[in-house]
Chain A
Amino acid sequence: MNGRRLWAIVIKELRQLRRDRITLAMVIGIPVLQLVLFGYAINTNLRGLNAGIADQAHTAGSRALVMDMLATGVVSPVATVNTPQQLMTMLRRGEISVGIVIPADFERRRIDGRPVAQILVDGSDTAVQAAAAQLAQTPVDSALPDTRAPPTSTPRSGRISVVGFYNPQRRSAINIVPGLIGVILTMTMVLFTGIAIVRERERGNMELLIATPLTSAELMVGKVLPYIVIGLLQTTVILALGVWLFAVPIRGSVLDVYLATGLLILANLALGLLISTRAQSQFQAMQMTFFIFLPSILLSGFMFPFAGMPKAAQWIAEVLPLTHFLRLIRGVMLRGAGLWDLWGDVLALVAFIVVMMAAAIMRFRKRLD
């Protein structure tokens, strides 16, 4: 790769972008518009949330209570640990969404009417909070193994307390804004590069470009680089608006936020380039962009909770960059996690970028036929 030729492409793209008023307006206009439009989130019932269990009582009664909770199907156990602290760590890393804590004095609490168990919830997802509230309805008394009839007046609620972490006020904007960074970047980044190659083909520039010593890699990378800057600019607009309008917290490091966003931007640009090498016209490129965009919005966990989806949909979601980005950005912004806590999703994004970029470079032929 020749640095001078690469730079020439970057400069050319920036100069063209500067004169393209509509695209420039889109860079700022789309984030602002979407932020306002997505004011509300949609919640649905969840099933199969990852749960960690810390049963410190180890009595027949406590085991029966846990069994009853699992029987609802809302949660499925992925880990059994000893202390609530361990649950907190797993929650922060995103390994579990719900933690069930049964204290050592479970039997005594049950008799004297104090809360007998605690459900720790990842409140950064409002849908999970709603599901936890449902779990808390598990009747404690029917789980009693002994014959003593419980007082019927015992209020069912209140016996299991729900503690939401990270978003105690259950404000949906807090969930929406980090997700929105991902959605907006998916839409605009794929579109920008999706039309990048086709446009030059349609305008006749491609015949000139491929007759020069430019290599495929120089052309592809040169087209991607300027849009990274654009993407980070958009991120800044959304973050600033989110913090200013909705008081969205950034609990992790800002650097991690930008690193995670940088990964998503690259993933989407690479995907856009691949689309661009396939599409015959700008219109086709837009159609293909939409084809990617819809599942991203619907399956990534942005609109509907990931855990609420059938297995097949979850598999599809795992190959969408937005899914991994949402886990990263929610982890960093709302739970204060570091990127290293969520290395699995970082790895997934990096793999996606490498594969897409390589495919785009290989697919692009310096030929007209």
Chain B
Amino acid sequence: MSADEAIAIRARGLTRRFGELVAVDHVDLDVPARQVYGFLGPNGSGKSTTIRMLCGLLTPSAGEIEVLGLRIPAEADALRRRIGYMTQRFSLFEDLTVRENLEFLAAVQGVPKARSRSRIDELVGQYHFAEQRNQLAGTLSGGQKQRLALAGAVIHEPELLFLDEPTSAVDPESRRDFWEKLFDLADTGTTLLVSTHLMDEAERCHRLAILDRGALVADGSPRELTSALQGRTLVVDAIDPRRAQRVIVDLPGVLSVAQVGSSLRVLTTEPVTAAEAATDTRHRIDEALVAAGQQAATTATPANLEDVFVAVTRNPMKPEAHAA
């Protein structure tokens, strides 16, 4: 297997401007084939814009893209036969039934005529639409619509799937089911690029990229990303967590404080010299709490993806803590 086969998407210096706004800012991407690659980022960070450029729907202002060995946007027409794209907004026809939508997509995506009917029946079964096959798509619930959109995006068994926040309306129970399907697809050789802002989803990805205000601020496997924060996360168990939060939020070395039930999760700033600075901050916190007369216990804890997300996006939640 050559190196080119292993990489499904490669982008260099990918940039898109909308007037003054730089929606995507010099993003470099390497998405390995046959994996689930996550795109994590807050609202407006440029996830959808990047995906649109990768499928050839938007022309980049600058940068180079190669998808499945094709240069985009120049060879976008050839790419369209090989990809599936599930848009963030429901884009199937609301005034057609489930079955009619799938029939339309099968024809348009060039599923062989002889195979079309059995493929649709297969999808109706797999995606649990047996009882709703003749229901208008517009009357489906939000989660059902997303399930239908996924079925539509995979109808021609594409090599590469772009899913833009595919589970935003799906309940947690069905989301597991949804992700089972994504891994099934990856197993059969499909490459998936999934955007999300749900941490538990990001956690499931083989690799992920974190976008913030158009810039790629971190990428790697979830384990790589969390281990980079080694020693920077603390849990403070306090009697009065709200007051304790006010005491420590402005201390030097504290990047963010978030209340989780009756405890506080503290993320410290990047230490200048590894463990030393982290323990410094921990001491500062303990002293400040004692000085304020707060009863609390501070313990170290392993980092999770949410910590990574907060650490790399440049708007930690400090101002909110202040307002409280």
Chain A residues at the B interface, C-beta cutoff of 8 Å? 2, 4-5, 7-9, 11-12, 15-16, 19-20, 203-214, 366-369
Contacts and interface: CB of A to CB of B under 8 A. Distances in A.
Contact of B91 (A4, A205, A213): A205
Given A207-B57, A212-B108, A212-B109, A15 B83 contact: no
A4 B107 contact: yes
Contacts of A207: 57, 85, 87, 89, 91
A19 B95 contact: yes
Given A203-B91, A205-B93, A207-B87, 13 more contacts: A4-B110, A5-B107, A7-B107, A12-B96, A12-B100, A12-B104, A16-B96, A19-B95, A203-B94, A204-B89, A208-B152, A211-B57, A213-B108
A8 B102 CA distance: 11
Given A11-B104, A211-B83, A213-B109, A16 B58 contact: no
A213 B107 contact: no
**Most chain A CB inside 10 Å of its own CB: which residue of B87, B91, B109, B136:** B91
Contacts of B200: none
Nearest to A17: B95
Interface of B: 52, 55, 57-59, 73, 76-77, 80-81, 83, 85, 87, 89-96, 100, 103-105, 107-110, 113, 136, 152
Interface of A is mostly: helix
A350 to B, nearest CB: 30
Contacts of B90: 204
5 contacts: A8-B103, A208-B92, A210-B57, A211-B87, A212-B80
Contact of B59 (A7, A15, A211, A369): A369
B108 A8 contact: yes
Nearest to A2: B110
State the 9 A-B residue pairs at the shortest beta-carbon distance, nearest first. Answer: A8-B107, A208-B91, A211-B85, A204-B89, A204-B91, A207-B87, A368-B57, A212-B108, A213-B80
Given A5-B108, A15-B100, A211-B80, A204 B87 contact: yes
A213 B95 contact: no
Contacts of A11: 104
A220 B145 CA distance: 27
**Most chain A CB inside 10 Å of its own CB: which residue of B89, B92, B93:** B93
Contacts of B59: 367, 369
Contacts of A367: 57-59, 73
Nearest to A212: B108
A6 to B, nearest CB: 10
Contacts of A208: 85, 87, 91-92, 152
Contact of B93 (A2, A12, A211, A368): A12
Contacts of A212: 80, 105, 108-109
Nearest to A214: B108
A205 B108 contact: no
Contacts of A205: 91-93
Contacts of B104: 8, 11-12
Contacts of B91: 203-208
B84 to A, nearest CB: 8
Nearest to B164: A207
B13 to A, nearest CB: 18
B95 A20 contact: yes
Contacts of B109: 212-213
Contacts of A369: 58-59
Contacts of B57: 207, 210-211, 366-368
Contacts of B93: 12, 16, 205
A333 B55 CA distance: 54
A272 to B, nearest CB: 20
A205 B105 CA distance: 12
Contact of A15 (B80, B96, B110): B96
Contacts of B103: 8
A19 B57 CA distance: 30
A206 B93 CA distance: 10
Nearest to A211: B85
A222 to B, nearest CB: 10
Contacts of A211: 55, 57, 80, 83, 85, 87
A219 to B, nearest CB: 10
A210 B85 CA distance: 10
Nearest to B110: A213
B218 to A, nearest CB: 28
Contacts of B87: 204, 207-208, 211
A24 to B, nearest CB: 13
Contact of A368 (B58, B89, B108): B58
Contacts of A19: 95, 136
A11 B100 CA distance: 10
Contacts of B113: 4
Nearest to B57: A368
A155 B94 CA distance: 75
Nearest to A365: B59
A19 B93 CA distance: 12
B166 to A, nearest CB: 14
Contacts of A8: 103-104, 107-108
A209 to B, nearest CB: 8
B87 to A, nearest CB: 5
Contacts of B108: 5, 8-9, 209, 212-214
**Most chain B CB inside 10 Å of its own CB: which residue of A2, A207, A209, A367:** A207
Nearest to B92: A208
Given A369-B58, A369-B59, A213 B52 contact: no
A121 to B, nearest CB: 53
A368 to B, nearest CB: 5
A16 B95 contact: yes
